[in-house]
Structure 1
Amino acid sequence: MRGIAIAVFVAALAALVLSRQQAPALAPPTSGQATTRPASAPRPSPVREAPPLLRLEDPEPQGPSRLEGQVIDAEQLPVEGARVSLGTVPPRTVLTERNGTFSFERLHPRSYTLQARKGTQAAAAVEVRLTPTSEPVILVLRPTAAVEVSVMDARERHPLEGARVEVEGQEDFAVLTGTDGKALLQGLAPGRHVIRASSEGRAPERATVLHAAGVSQVTLLLRAGAPVRGVVVDSEGRPVGGANVRALRTGSALPESENIVEEARTTSEGAWSMRALSEGTFRFLATHSRFAPSLSEQVTLEGLAASAPVRIVLRPGAVLSGQVVARSGEPAPFARVQARQGGAGGLPGTRHGAFTDASGRFELRGLPRARFRVDAQSERASSSSQDVDLGSGAAEVTLRLEEEGTIAGIVAASEGVPIASAQVVAVPEDRAALGGLAESHSGRYASEVSDGNGRFRLMGLAPGRYRLRASVHHSVQSSSFWLSTGVVAEVGDEDVRIVLESPGTLRGRVASSDGALPESFSVALTLAQPTAFQGTNGLFVLEDVPPGRYTLTFLARGSAPHTVEGVELGAGEDKDLGRVVLEAGRQLSGVVRDAEGRPVAGAQVLAGPQLLGDGSQAGPAPLRSISDANGSFSLVGGGEESLTVMAEHSTRGRSAPLVVAAGTASDALELTLRPLAGLEGTVMHEGRPVGNVAVVAAPHGSSTGRFMVMTQADGRYRFDRLAQGSYVVTAALREGPTTQLLQSVLARVEDRGASMDIQVALGEQALSIQVLEADGRPLQNAQVYLGTGQLSAATLGQLEAVLAARGDGQTRILLLMKGQPLTVTRLVPGTYTLCVVPVRGNLEDPTWAQRVRDGASRLPVSCEPVELSATGTPRPVVHRLPPVPSR
C-alpha cells in the first residue's frame, strides 16, 4: 500500500483513466491437494452486497412484471438444473428447467443483478433493467477456477479439519475442510467475494477475495475465542426482540460491511450471544426496523474469559417520508427510494431503502439522526440526489424523476453480427459527475444487457457525455471489463455502435534465472487484477483477453518483479510469449532484538515498498520471514526500489519502520522491538462526529510504514497495538467527488496508551487557483495539493516525506480536470504551500496509466508559497509550471 499523498494520487489517476483499478498482489503459496467435503444442510447466511455499503432495506412489494431468461453453456446448449440468483430484497433463487429456461414472477420494473452457476461452471454476473418490454436474458456458463481456502489454527499453525467455509451472500456455497485443512470452492464466478471460515470453539474469520480466472488462494487463521452475551433494550429499558447484533472489530481498516466478525439475533427477552470472539477490542452494533442503529461501548476480550454482559440501548429512529413524482408531477408508484448515510466528510455509509406505494408515497423509519443523500429510480427515469438532515428526527422530501435521458445502440462483432446478452455500461465523461454517480443506486455506472438483436437502451441518464463499454465474457466486477477504451456518446444518441472484437489468449512459461520453475506465481495485465497460477510447471494461459496493447507484470516469491511492456494482442489471436525469466530478488538479512538488546525468536519480519497495517498488525507485505532462535532473519525478493522493513511479535512489540535504499542489499539490519499500546479518539467535522473515515497513524517522520483504521458511526477510532513513540495521525475526509481533506495531529503513545481527538479546522476564506503550462496554456489535468506551512518538494515521494515530518497540519487535495480553475473553500487564514503534480499523457491508454501509477513517487512536483490573510478577498493564485526538460 502507498502513503497517503501517493495513494490519493493513484486513486485520482484511476478515476481519470479506467474508473476502476486493482493493484497486483501475489497469492500466498500453498502445498498439497485440497480435499473438500460438503457441509451439512447450509444454514442461512446474512446476505450483504459487495463492500463498502451495508444495506438495510425493506422487503420488496410484489409487482406486475416477469423476468425471463435461459442458461446455456459455451456450446450454446441449454443447461438444466443451474441455480440462478436474483438481487432482490430478500434475494431469490430458482433452478432452470430442462430447456435451460428460468423466470422470476411478481417483480417491479427496475435494475437487477442476475447470476447463474452449476457445478464448476458459472456465468458472469449481469445487471439488467427490467421494463414491460424486456426480452429474455441469456446467461452463458463457462468453466471457472477454484478458490482454495486453507484454514489453520492461528497459534499452532496446524490445519483444521472440519472447518466450515462459506461465501457470504450465497448460502449454497458451504463446504467443510479436509484433513489437510483445505477446501475448494467450485463454480465461483470471477469478481469480489467475502469468504468466511468457522470452527467449533474458535472465532470466525473473513477475507475478501478478488477472484480472477486463475486459482485464488486464501489462508484464514482461526483463534480460540471467548463467548460474549448481552441484551438489547429500548430507552425505557424494555427488551427488544428481533434485533440484529453485529460484532465490529474496532482496529479494522475495513469499512463496516467487511468488518462484521459475527452476528446474532435477539430473543423475545432481548438476549443475544456469540460463541467465540478472538482477543481484541470490539463494539457491537444493534439494528431494528423501529429504532435507530446503536453501538455499544468498547469491549476488550482477553484470552478465553467471557466478558461482562454487553448492554445496547436502542433509541427511537428518525423518519424520512415523502413522495416520488414523475417529471409531469404525477405520482410515481413503486419507485425505489434509497437514503445513503454519509454527509460531509465520510465515505458513503449504510444504505436504507424502500419502495413507494400506489400513490408514490414512501416512509423510511429507524434511521440515525444524521445527514443523508436521497434519490429515487423507476424503470425509465431517476431523480437527482437531495441532501437531507435528520437531526430533528423527521423530514419530508419530494423526489422528481426528471432524469429521463437515454442512449441507445447496438453491440456487434467486428464482422457486423449482433451480439446478444452483452453487458453494457455507461460512465460519465465528466469526472465530477462520476463522483456523484458513485453514490447512486446503480453504483459507478448505468448498465443494461443487449437483447437478442444486440440492441440496448440505457435510461434514466442526466444530460452529458458518457463512455460506453461492453463485454460478454466479463462482469462489471472484474477489472478486465474496464480494459477496453469503449466509445463516447451523448445523451439522446440512438445509433451508438459498440464493436466487440474476438478476445485473444496470452500464454507462456515462467522460469527463474537458474532454470527452476516456480511452484506459484501471478500474472497481471495492465491495471487489472492478477491471475494466480499454482502447480503448472511455470505455464500460464490468460484467456478471453480483449484485443489491445498491454503491460504484463510477473510476481513470484524470491524473485524480483518482472515487467513485459508493449504486448500487442490482435482479435482472436493466440499469442505465445515464450519463456519469461525472473531474476532473483535482493537479499536482506539481520537480527530482531528487544528493547534490552536480547535476540527475539518467532518475530515476523515484513518488507515492501510501502507497509500499511491495521489497528493490530503490520502488513500485508510481499516479503516475509520469521526470526530464528538467534533472532536472525533473511528476506529474498523484491525489485530495485527502496524497501521498508518492520518486525513485530505478538507479545514483545514492534520495531520502527526501517527504509533500505533502492538497489542495495544488506546483511546487518537491526530491528529493535518496542512495547505496544493503544491510541484512540474521535474525528469531528463542523461540530459533529464523522463515521466511515480513514484514520492513518504513521511514526513521526515515516512515509512508508503506516497503520489505518476506520471510524465508526459515532466518529470514534481505535488502534489496539501501536509501538510506543510519536505518531502523525491523519483523518482523510471527503469534501466532494474530486476533493479530499487530510487533517493531521501529532500524538505520543506511552505505555498506558493515548487519546487524541482530531478536530477538522475550517475557516471562511476561499481561494481560486489556476494552473498554467510554461507557455501560458491552461494545464489540462493534475492533482493539486494545498497544505498548511512551508513545504518544499521536487517529487511526489518527497512531498509525502515532507508531510510525514510536518506533524500537525491540514492538506487539501484536489483533482484539476480539463484546465478548469479550482476553488478551495472553508480555509483558515495562514501560510500555505501550493504543490501541483501534472498528469500528462493519453488518459485512455491503460499502459500509460500503469507506468504513471507505478512511478508515482518519482513524478515531478511544482510548489510555491501562498499567504492567506484574515481580512479581504484573497487574490487568485496563478501557478505557472516550469518548462518541461527536453529529452
Structure 2
Amino acid sequence: MVHDASGGEIEGAIVRAGGSTDFSGPDGTFVLHVRPGTHGVEALAEGYAPGGAWSHVPGQTVQILMLPEAVLVGRVVRAADGQPVAGARVVAKRGWPLAAVTDANGNFRVGQLRPGIFKPRVEADTYTGMAEAQVHVGIGETSSLVLVRVYPATSVRGKIVGPGGSSCEVGTVSLSERLTRRTAWGAVEADGEVAIRGLLPGTYEVGVHCEGYVSEDSYEAIVVGDAPIGGMTWRVKAGRAIRGKVVDAGGAAVLAETVSAQPVTASLRGTIPVSGPTGPDGSFSLAGLVPGSYELEVSPGPGRPQPPRRVVEVLADRDLEDVVIALPDGGVVQGRVIDSEGRPVARASMHLRGEQDGGQQECDDEGRFVLQGVAPGRYRATASIDFTPLKRPGQGPDELPGVWVEARLGSVTEVEIVVEGRGGRISGQVIDGSGGPIADAMLDWVREADIGGSAVSRMSVISPRQPTLSDGNGRFEISGLSPGFYTIRASRHDEPGEGRVEHVPVNGATVLTIPDTGEIGGSVRSVGGAVPEWVKVTAREADRRGWAEDEFFRTDGRFRLAGLAPGRYTVRAESGEAGAETTVTLLQGEVRRDIELVLAPR
C-alpha cells in the first residue's frame, strides 16, 4: 500500500520491484509479481518525493510512505555578462539522478526531491558552474530562487570498446585532474557513447569500468584545452568467467539471491567484486574476472544461513566451469513471534545465534518464520525490530532476550517466542531555540538498555523504517513501543542540528529542542594571496560527531557552511596539493564569517 505522511492513500503511484511494475489503485494498493527473496520496492508519484521499502517475499505486505516533494528552483546565467542560458541540464547536487533543463529564460525547477541539502550545478557541453552556497529545502517546500553562474567549459566523448569492436552496454569513464584533484565522470548512454561534460582545462587521469569486462592496467591521460575532444576509444578485455550451480544438500537447484566473487589475491585487492543472481535452475555466471584467487560467497536469501565461503582459482587461459556450491544440510526451525496478548508481531527479524550463525528471516504478516538448513546445535532465537531486541515479558535487565532452541539434522523444531506488548506511546513537541514549534521534524528513538540507568548520550539512535513526523504545531506521537525508557532524537532531515532527550518513559510526554543553527564562513587564499579556483571546505565537530562540507568554484575564495549546531569545529580547506586547518567555537545561532584559511603545501 502507498500512503502519504497523514496516512491517506495515494492513487496512481508507479510501483516497481524485481522487474515488475504496477500502479496503485484508489485505495493505494498494488500487486507485484517477483521471485522469492528480498526486494527493494520503489514508488513514484506526481507531487511526492520517491518512496520505498524493503520486503521479503512471500508473506509480507509492503507499506510505502511518500513525503510531499521538496522543489528546487533557480536560474542559470553566464558569469561573464549575466545573460540566461537555455537548455542547460541542472542537477540538484553532484551525482544526483534527478535533473531539469532550463527554459528560454534560464529558469529551472527540480521537483520530486526528498528534503535535504542541495547544491545545484551545471555540467554541460560548453558550460560548468554551481550555486555559491548550499540550499536546504524541507518537506513540501519550494526553495527561494537560486542563482547558478556558469563559465565556459568543454567535453570529452568516446566509446568503451570490447574484443572484436563490441560496444560496452553498462559502464563508466571517470576523469581526475592531476593538480586540482577535480573529478568528473560519464556513463554509457543510449547510443553507446560516453560523454564527460563541464570540463575545465587540465591533464586528466582516466579510469574505465565496463560491466562483464576487464579494464586495462592504465589508460593514457587526456590533456583538455578549450576545444571539445571526440572520438576517444577506451578498450577493455573479455576477462575470465566462473560458471556453476547452487544446490541444496540433496542436489536440487537453489534459487539464491546472489553469488559473488571477492578477490583475495593481494594484487587484486581493490578490484570491484563481481556478483549476480542464480537462474531458476540454480545456475550462475560471473564474467569479467582477472586471473587470480577468489572467494565465492552465496547469499541464499531469507530463511537460510550463509554457507562457508569457498576459494577458487581463475586461470589466465580458461574460464572456470561447472563449479557446484552445495548448501549444507541441516534442520528446520520454524514458528512465530507473538506479544503477551497473543497478537502476531509482523516484520520482526528472527535470528539464530550459536557457535555458528543459524540464519535470520523477517516474519510475515502473521508473525511466522521458517529457517531452513540450520546446522545441528543449540541456538539462542531472538526477535528484533529496527535492530532493537524485543524482550520477554518480565525479562530482567541482566537476562538475555529470546529462547534457547535445538536444531536437529533432518528434523523440524517448532518454537514460539513471546515478547512484551508494544502498545505503548510517547507524545511530545519539537521546538526551536526560541520556543517556536518545528513542523515536519523527523523522530528517531531507541529503548535504553539500562532502565533508568546511566546516560546514553553516545548510544546510536536507530531510524525506524518509516519516519514519524511532527505536525504543523511541532507535536508528535510515537506508537508501538514496548515498556521501558527511551532516548528520542528530533532532526530536520539532512541538517546537522538535532534535539535529543533521554530516559523518557512509555506513555510519557516530552519536549525536544533543536537548537538554532549557526554558520561558519570566511575566505581561503594561498600564501601569496591568490585565491583558489576550486576549494573544498569541511567542518567537523568531534564531541557530537557532526560535520558539514561543501565545494566552492570561482567564489573569489569565499565559503559558507550553514545549518551548524553549537560546538567546537575543526575547519579544513583543501585545494589540489594544498590545505589549511583551524578550530572554531560556534555558539547557538551564531554566524561567523571572519574565518581566514591560508593554504600551504601538504
* TM class by smaller structure: 0.5 to 0.7
Give 1 or 2: higher helix fraction.
Answer: 1
Structure 1, residues 124-180: CA drift from partner, whole Å, max 9, x if none?
5232144xxxx5x42335452434456776995999887466999999x87768986
Verify: 1:245 aligned to 2:159, yes or no: no
Equivalent residue, structure 2, for 1:582: 515
The structure 2 residue matched to 1:341, chosen from 262, 287, 294, is 262
Equivalent residue, structure 1, for 2:502: 566
Equivalent residue, structure 1, for 2:21: 93
Contact 1:227 1:274 (8 Å CA) reproduced: yes
Equivalent residue, structure 2, for 1:821: none
Residues in 2 aligned to 1:261 and 1:632: alpha-carbon distance in whole angstroms? 25
Counterparts in 2 of 1:391 and 1:624: CA distance versus 1, 3 Å: closer
Q: Secondary structure at the match of 1:399?
A: strand
Residues in 1 aligned to 2:338 and 2:263: alpha-carbon distance in whole angstroms? 41
Q: Secondary structure at the match of 2:548?
A: coil
Residue identity over aligned pairs, in percent, reads 17
Counting only pairs closer than 5 Å after superposition, residues 356-435 of structure 1 correspond to structure 2 as 356=279, 358=281, 361-376=283-298, 377=300, 381=304, 383-392=307-316, 393-396=318-321, 397-402=323-328, 404=330, 406-412=332-338, 415-419=341-345, 422-426=346-350
Q: Secondary structure at the match of 1:246?
A: strand
Equivalent residue, structure 2, for 1:126: 54
Contact 1:226 1:301 (8 Å CA) reproduced: no
Residues in 1 aligned to 2:287 and 2:335: alpha-carbon distance in whole angstroms? 41
Residues in 2 aligned to 1:226 and 1:561: alpha-carbon distance in whole angstroms? 39
Q: Report the more deviating stretch, 161-170 or 536-545.
A: 161-170
Equivalent residue, structure 2, for 1:255: none
Residues in 2 aligned to 1:154 and 1:630: alpha-carbon distance in whole angstroms? 20
Q: Secondary structure at the match of 1:596?
A: coil
Verify: 1:501 aligned to 2:430, yes or no: no
Structure 1, residues 782-838: CA drift from partner, whole Å, max 9, x if none?
xxxxxxxxxxxxxxxxxxxxxxxxxxxxxxxxxxxxxxxxxxxxxxxxxxxxxxxxx
* Structure 1 residue 409, shift from structure 2 partner: 3.5
TM-score normalised by structure 2 residue count: 0.65
Q: Which has the higher contact order (CA 8 A, sep 6+)?
A: 1
Residues in 1 aligned to 2:313 and 2:429: alpha-carbon distance in whole angstroms? 57
Equivalent residue, structure 1, for 2:457: none
Equivalent residue, structure 1, for 2:541: 609
Equivalent residue, structure 1, for 2:157: 229
Verify: 1:84 aligned to 2:11, yes or no: no
Q: Which amino acid aligns with 1:447?
A: Q
Equivalent residue, structure 2, for 1:312: 234
TM-score normalised by structure 1 residue count: 0.47
Residues in 1 aligned to 2:149 and 2:331: alpha-carbon distance in whole angstroms? 51
Structure 1, residues 577-611: CA drift from partner, whole Å, max 9, x if none?
17x373786x9888755313578999776533369
Contact 2:338 2:344 (8 Å CA) reproduced: yes
Q: Which amino acid aligns with 1:566?
A: E
The structure 1 residue matched to 2:368, chosen from 452, 455, 458, is 455
* Structure 1 residue 542, shift from structure 2 partner: 6.8
Q: Secondary structure at the match of 1:656?
A: strand
* Structure 1 residue 226, shift from structure 2 partner: 2.8
Q: Secondary structure at the match of 1:508?
A: strand
Give 1 or 2: higher strand fraction.
Answer: 2
Equivalent residue, structure 1, for 2:275: 352
Structure 1, residues 537-595: CA drift from partner, whole Å, max 9, x if none?
993647568556444556799x9967543241526x6x3417x373786x988875531
* Structure 1 residue 86, shift from structure 2 partner: 1.8
Residues in 2 aligned to 1:569 and 1:339: alpha-carbon distance in whole angstroms? 46
Verify: 1:287 aligned to 2:223, yes or no: no
Q: Which amino acid aligns with 2:166?
A: V
Equivalent residue, structure 1, for 2:246: 324
Residues in 2 aligned to 1:598 and 1:160: alpha-carbon distance in whole angstroms? 30
Contact 2:42 2:51 (8 Å CA) reproduced: yes
Contact 1:244 1:266 (8 Å CA) reproduced: no
Residues in 1 aligned to 2:498 and 2:50: alpha-carbon distance in whole angstroms? 32
Q: Secondary structure at the match of 1:621?
A: strand
Equivalent residue, structure 1, for 2:433: 512
Counterparts in 2 of 1:298 and 1:447: CA distance versus 1, 3 Å: farther
Equivalent residue, structure 2, for 1:185: 112
Residues in 2 aligned to 1:590 and 1:605: alpha-carbon distance in whole angstroms? 11
Contact 1:560 1:583 (8 Å CA) reproduced: no
Equivalent residue, structure 1, for 2:396: none
* Structure 1 residue 449, shift from structure 2 partner: 4.5
Residues in 1 aligned to 2:532 and 2:95: alpha-carbon distance in whole angstroms? 43
Contact 2:216 2:236 (8 Å CA) reproduced: yes
Equivalent residue, structure 2, for 1:691: none
* Structure 1 residue 400, shift from structure 2 partner: 0.8
Q: Which amino acid aligns with 1:326?
A: D
Q: Which amino acid aligns with 2:504?
A: E
Q: Which amino acid aligns with 2:347?
A: Q
Q: Give the gaps of 5 or more residues in structure 2.
A: 131-135, 392-400, 408-412, 446-459
Counterparts in 2 of 1:310 and 1:299: CA distance versus 1, 3 Å: farther
Counterparts in 2 of 1:523 and 1:449: CA distance versus 1, 3 Å: closer
Equivalent residue, structure 2, for 1:712: none
**Cα RMSD for the two superposed structures:** 6.0
* Structure 1 residue 239, shift from structure 2 partner: 1.2
Equivalent residue, structure 2, for 1:539: 474
Contact 2:129 2:553 (8 Å CA) reproduced: no
Counterparts in 2 of 1:204 and 1:602: CA distance versus 1, 3 Å: closer
Q: Which amino acid aligns with 1:183?
A: V
Q: Which amino acid aligns with 1:276?
A: R
Residues in 2 aligned to 1:454 and 1:249: alpha-carbon distance in whole angstroms? 51
Contact 2:526 2:532 (8 Å CA) reproduced: yes
Counterparts in 2 of 1:296 and 1:242: CA distance versus 1, 3 Å: same
Q: Secondary structure at the match of 2:387?
A: helix
Q: Which amino acid aligns with 1:94?
A: D
Residues in 2 aligned to 1:214 and 1:129: alpha-carbon distance in whole angstroms? 31
Q: Secondary structure at the match of 2:235?
A: strand
